[in-house]
Amino acid sequence: KIEDNIRNFSIIAHIDHGKSTLADRLIELTKTVAEKDMQNQLLDDMDLERERGITIKAHAIRLLYERNGEQYILNMIDTPGHVDFSYEVSRSLAACEGAILVVDATQGIQAQTLSNLYLAIENDLTIIPVLNKVDLPSANPDHVAQLVGDLLGYDPDKIPRISAKTGINIPEVLDRIVDEIPAPKGDASAKLQALIFDSMYDTYRGVINDIRIMNGTLRPGMEIQLMASGATYTVTEVGTFTMKRNPRKELTAGMVGYVLANVKTISDVKIGDTITDANDPAENPLPGYKDIQPMIYSGIYPIDPEDYKNLREALEKLKLNDSALQWEPETSDALGFGFRTGFLGLLHMEIVQERLDREFNVNIITTVPNVEYHVYLTGGEMIKVSSPSRLPDASRYERIEEPYVKAQIFTPKEYVGGLMKLCEEKRGEFENMEYIDETKVILKYDLPLAEIMFDFYDKLKSISRGYGGLDYAPNGYRANNLVKLDILLNGDPVDAFSVIIHRDKSASYANAICVRLKDLIPRQQFDVAIQGAIGGKIISRSTVKAVRKDVLAKCYGGDITRKRKLLEKQKEGKKRMKSIGTVEVPQKAFLAVLSLS
């Protein structure tokens, strides 16, 4: 049977431990891509991924591997490692039977080594550990092998010691994949069940769904149904991936590939949904994915109100292959029509922002991100508030609860003191400390999500000289003394600047933002007063002094092109400004707070 020679696997690892480099070597060794087309981190084909050197999206590719005259099909799915993107990892894992767990032999087990490993265990995958970077003098493969072996119940001597960079022992990894990962089970003649694990939008061809066939067979011409939305389409093409899409006659149980069906209605498609045969439907869909809850929210507004429709379309298309992205329309007095958007974390927010800008060419303003609060009204009813401007008047609610996370901080033990101090500044509650080995510990804290959202990770990294790691999971809600802080420009509150904050931190925050905005808001024809206020009471203040600015005055007549250039430059500057009442506020002021806490 064809599926006996298929292996579907993912590569999982802590960030920078070498997943993408290992993927490159496997692609090379199986001659999947012609040598002349080979470049580093081949699967990271989004511009953003190349620039930042990180993997954002999961990528799938089919490798052909021949051993003892037998040909194997290895479907490899590369996954991202950053804590913000673990949902991408769990998505890809559902399409696999096995996972290669890459551990950097110079670093050992790190935060996302464990969290990805747990995801793989949850998905019942066969796990093959490998130790990478053994070419480096600082590698300590025997020691790390012992730890990894203990963790997995795997014989430490049998863990391959590899270098994804120089190619040491990569063939052994291919052999392990073939020998240890089970072939997919499934029945090609059963009713069709295909799991959608990713999708993207192509202007010409509509939605392209990446699928794993669990049961049944899929061919062009078949009428399919997307089980969650009920929508039906006729299949125009199926195929597999080898960097490009290769059309095939059919896909059968166990195979990974794609399906095209002229799907132009993006909302019909949901990642994690099951495709079935419309004329002979499966009784039940496959177990879907957990809906992912965003951790932080921010307002996204077009700088040019004309762009509202474009922004909406761009968000719809992004959502298609970024199912963690959630949004709904909202209006702001200051910024007009826009969207309240939910993200998994700050990095995710930055990526979405940049993708909107680059791939969709929409200029946007994003407001200060915040978490979602549970507000208990005096009547007893609870409402969820993800936008500070929606917080009811203080007289209308009894208490505000904020989300907490259980955080695990991985660190060499010498940085424990500094990291504990950081956690306390962030209102953390110590839970316990465990030793991973004689030099490394895990610190466990309960922390308000709002406190770790901004610069916590950066601070953790700098305190631990880059060696610390962080992993966290939601851990309920707790009531705290939270207040809404408004920022007023010339007496008018600017809703887009409002934040919900702990009372103990409100005064220093209000001061800092008044100082910061004073630098960011350019001088205008009149004084601009910047004030911080809680419930109408002013707690901080700064002023931007008026100036009469005539750009042409500098030109002393004469050179007309120089004059025109200056005027154009001023117009450019204006475009990145937003008028709030009579005050011109630059785009970056809305995110000024990020560098404050």
**Between 11 and 40, how does the x/- string for binding to ligand GDP read (CB under 6 A)?**
--x-xxxxxxx-------------------
Q: What is the DSSP track for 518-559?
A: HHHSPP-SS-EEEEEEETTEEEEEEEE------GGGGG-S--
- By CB atoms closer than 10 A (0-12, 13-18, 19+), residue 525 is exposed
Instruction: Residue count of the chain, please give it.
Output: 597
Name the binder of 16 from Mg ion, ligand GDP, none, CB < 5-8 A by kind: ligand GDP
Asked if 133 touches ligand GDP (CB under 6 A), the answer is: yes
Name the binder of 387 from Mg ion, ligand GDP, none, CB < 5-8 A by kind: none
Given the complex with ligand GDP, which of 110 and 298 has the nearer CB atom?
A: 110
β-bridge mates for residue 499, sequence order: 485
Given the complex with ligand GDP, which of 112 and 215 has the nearer CB atom?
A: 112
Say how many CA atoms lie within 13 Å of 356 toward its Cβ. Answer: 27
Given the complex with Mg ion, which of 52 and 248 has the nearer CB atom?
A: 52
Residue identified by tokens 């510990």 is: 441
Task: Tell me which residues in 271-310 interact with Mg ion (CB under 5 A).
Answer: none
CA–CA gap between residue 244 and residue 265 (Å, rounded): 24
3-class state of residue 154 by DSSP:
coil
Residue 165 near residue 133, CB atoms below 8 Å: yes
Given the complex with ligand GDP, which of 2 and 136 has the nearer CB atom?
A: 136
In the complex, least distance from residue 40 CB atom to Mg ion, rounded to whole angstroms: 10
In the complex, least distance from residue 20 CB atom to Mg ion, rounded to whole angstroms: 3
Q: Which of 29, 123, 135, 312 binds ligand GDP (CB under 6 A)?
A: 135
In the complex, least distance from residue 132 CB atom to ligand GDP, rounded to whole angstroms: 5
In the complex, least distance from residue 19 CB atom to Mg ion, rounded to whole angstroms: 5
**Between 165 and 184, how does the x/- string for binding to ligand GDP read (CB under 6 A)?**
x-------------------
**Residues comprising the binding site for GTP?**
16-21, 132-135
Given the complex with ligand GDP, which of 141 and 257 has the nearer CB atom?
A: 141
Q: Nearest-CA neighbor of 97 among 123, 62, 66?
A: 123
Contacts of 558 (CB under 8 A, 6+ apart): none
Q: What is the distance of C-alpha 508 from the center of its chain?
A: 31
Given the complex with Mg ion, which of 57 and 426 has the nearer CB atom?
A: 57
Asked if 389 touches Mg ion (CB under 5 A), the answer is: no
In the complex, least distance from residue 434 CB atom to Mg ion, rounded to whole angstroms: 28
CA–CA gap between residue 164 and residue 118 (Å, rounded): 24
Asked if 55 touches ligand GDP (CB under 6 A), the answer is: yes
Contacts of 441 (CB under 8 A, 6+ apart): 410, 411, 412, 413, 416, 433, 434, 435
**Between 46 and 85, how does the x/- string for binding to Mg ion read (CB under 5 A)?**
---------x------------------------------
CA–CA gap between residue 356 and residue 341 (Å, rounded): 13
Name the binder of 459 from ligand GDP, Mg ion, none, CB < 5-8 A by kind: none
Residue type for position 461: K
| The two structure tokens encoding residue 255 | 């195979």
Asked if 274 touches ligand GDP (CB under 6 A), the answer is: no
Question: Taking each helix axis from N to C terminus, what angle separates 111-122 and 86-93, rounded to the nearest 10 degrees?
Answer: 30
CA–CA gap between residue 195 and residue 259 (Å, rounded): 11
Given the complex with Mg ion, which of 19 and 317 has the nearer CB atom?
A: 19
In the complex, least distance from residue 369 CB atom to Mg ion, rounded to whole angstroms: 25
Name the helix (H) or strand (E) containing 148.
helix 141-152
Task: Tell me which residues in 494-523 interact with ligand GDP (CB under 6 A).
Answer: none
Q: What is the distance of C-alpha 144 from the center of its chain?
A: 29
| The two structure tokens encoding residue 72 | 């194997």
Q: Nearest-CA neighbor of 440 among 472, 405, 462, 408?
A: 408
Asked if 345 touches ligand GDP (CB under 6 A), the answer is: no
In the complex, least distance from residue 297 CB atom to ligand GDP, rounded to whole angstroms: 28
In the complex, least distance from residue 76 CB atom to Mg ion, rounded to whole angstroms: 13
| The two structure tokens encoding residue 114 | 């464990």
What is the total count of residues that contact ligand GDP (CB under 6 A)? 19
CA–CA gap between residue 45 and residue 35 (Å, rounded): 17
| The two structure tokens encoding residue 366 | 């994003």
Q: What is the distance of C-alpha 139 from the center of its chain?
A: 30
Asked if 428 touches ligand GDP (CB under 6 A), the answer is: no
Given the complex with Mg ion, which of 80 and 254 has the nearer CB atom?
A: 80
Name the binder of 165 from ligand GDP, Mg ion, none, CB < 5-8 A by kind: ligand GDP
Residue 234 near residue 261, CB atoms below 8 Å: yes
Asked if 132 touches ligand GDP (CB under 6 A), the answer is: yes
In the complex, least distance from residue 449 CB atom to Mg ion, rounded to whole angstroms: 26
In the complex, least distance from residue 80 CB atom to Mg ion, rounded to whole angstroms: 7
Asked if 163 touches ligand GDP (CB under 6 A), the answer is: yes
Say how many CA atoms lie within 13 Å of 77 toward its Cβ. Answer: 28
Asked if 20 touches Mg ion (CB under 5 A), the answer is: yes
Given the complex with ligand GDP, which of 41 and 310 has the nearer CB atom?
A: 41
- Judged by the rule CB under 6 A, the positions of this chain that interact with ligand GDP are 13, 15-21, 41, 53, 55, 81, 132-133, 135-136, 163-165
- Applying CB under 5 A, the residues found at the interface with Mg ion are 19-20, 55
